[in-house]
Amino acid sequence: MRGPVVGSHYFDERPPVASRPRKIRARLRGREWTFVTDRGVFGRDAVDAGTRLLIETMRLAPTDHVLDVGCGYGPVGLVAAVSASAGRVVLVDVNARAVHLAEQNAALNNVSNVEVLLGDGGTVVAGRTFDVAVTNPPIRAGRATLLRLVREVGDVLRPGGRLVFVVRTAQGAKTLAREVAAIFGTVTELAHKSGYRVYEAVKGDATAPAPTQRDV
Ligand SMILES: C[S@@+](CC[C@H](N)C(=O)[O-])C[C@H]1O[C@@H](n2cnc3c(N)ncnc32)[C@H](O)[C@@H]1O
């Protein structure tokens, strides 16, 4: 009999656990969604509570060009694509199974203004420019990876562009918010519910004053 898979994470590029797809349903921003999920992918059994808070909190303009970093099977990026109906959303994940699911879920839910890419953080979209980046980040990947992802996102946001992210309070939300503030200049807490916090960081331009921090 096989034992547990040691060292397996939802952010493995090729999850070592056998695929066993299933469908889940969720009502997000007033719309019914069906998602195909799978083993080895974050939030397999239900849309995560932090993901839900991020989705309900994020504010997007119809023409926004949006980046979803660490898209998983796609809930954040696909809902964002409905709000940014005249814009476009690029969903990125390092997990090939997640990328495949996000593509399937875009088709399943009739969302066409999206592109799903397999890749590491912002490097896969280097050279492009986004108005907004949204993420439920891979906290378990560790601080160094998280801060690298934040910097890479900062590189592809336009000046004045926004990074909107959710973190569980018990998983270091306030610390990460302070670290993001040091990189972006400002961070504002947008929501705080059920043990999760949603923050927004605005990319300063070249004339931005020294970093400050609000509401963190
Ligand atoms: C907390 S999960 C969120 C998944 C999805 N957005 C959701 O809310 O259900 C974080 C995601 O980040 C992905 N990830 C981890 N490291 C990454 C990296 N370096 N670049 C892109 N995605 C990464 C993981 O595979 C995982 O799908």
For ligand 1, mutation pick of 12, 71, 90 (most atoms within 8 Å of CB): 71
Confidence (pTM):
0.91
Give the per-residue pLDDT at 15: 80
pLDDT at 206 (0 to 100): 43
Confidence of residue 205 (pLDDT cuts 50, 70, 90): low
Q: Kindly tell me if the per-residue pLDDT of 91 is higher than 60.
A: yes
Residues 6+ apart with CB under 8 A from 87: 60, 61, 62, 63, 64, 65, 66, 113, 131
71 C-alpha to center of ligand 1: Å? 6
pLDDT band at 14 (very low <50, low <70, confident <90, very high): confident
Among protein residues, the one with the nearest Cα to ligand 1's atom 1 is 138
Place of tokens 């492009």: 128
pLDDT in tens, 96-120: 999 999 999 999 999 999 999 999 9
130 forms beta bridges with 157
CATH fit for domain 22-203, picks 3.40.640.10, 3.40.50.300, 3.40.50.150, 3.40.50.620: 3.40.50.150
Domain ranges of the chain: 22-203
| 131-149 confidence digits (pLDDT tens) | 999 999 999 999 999 999 9
What's the confidence (pLDDT) of residue 97? 97
How does residue 52 score in pLDDT terms, banded at 50, 70 and 90?
very high
Q: How many whole angstroms from 141 Cα to the centroid of ligand 1?
A: 9
Q: How many CB atoms lie within 10 A of CB 128?
A: 11
Q: What is the mean pLDDT of the chain?
A: 91
Query: Could you tell me the distance, in angstroms and rounded to a whole number, from the CA of residue 72 to the centre of ligand 1?
Result: 5
> Which pLDDT score, from 0 to 100, does residue 214 have?
47
Hey, CA dihedral for 61, 65, 68, 74, is it positive or negative?
Answer: positive
Those residues whose C-beta lies under 8 Å from the C-beta of residue 100, and which sit 6 or more positions away, are none
Pairing type for strands 88-93 and 65-69 reads parallel
CA 32 to chain centre: 20
Average pLDDT over residues 114-129: 96
Query: How many CB atoms lie under 10 A from the CB of residue 130?
Result: 25
User: Mean of the pLDDT values across residues 175-182?
Assistant: 96
pLDDT for 122 beyond 80: yes
Residue 206 Cα to ligand 1 middle (Å):
30
In this prediction, residue 188 carries a pLDDT of 97
Work out the widest C-alpha separation in the chain, in whole angstroms: 62
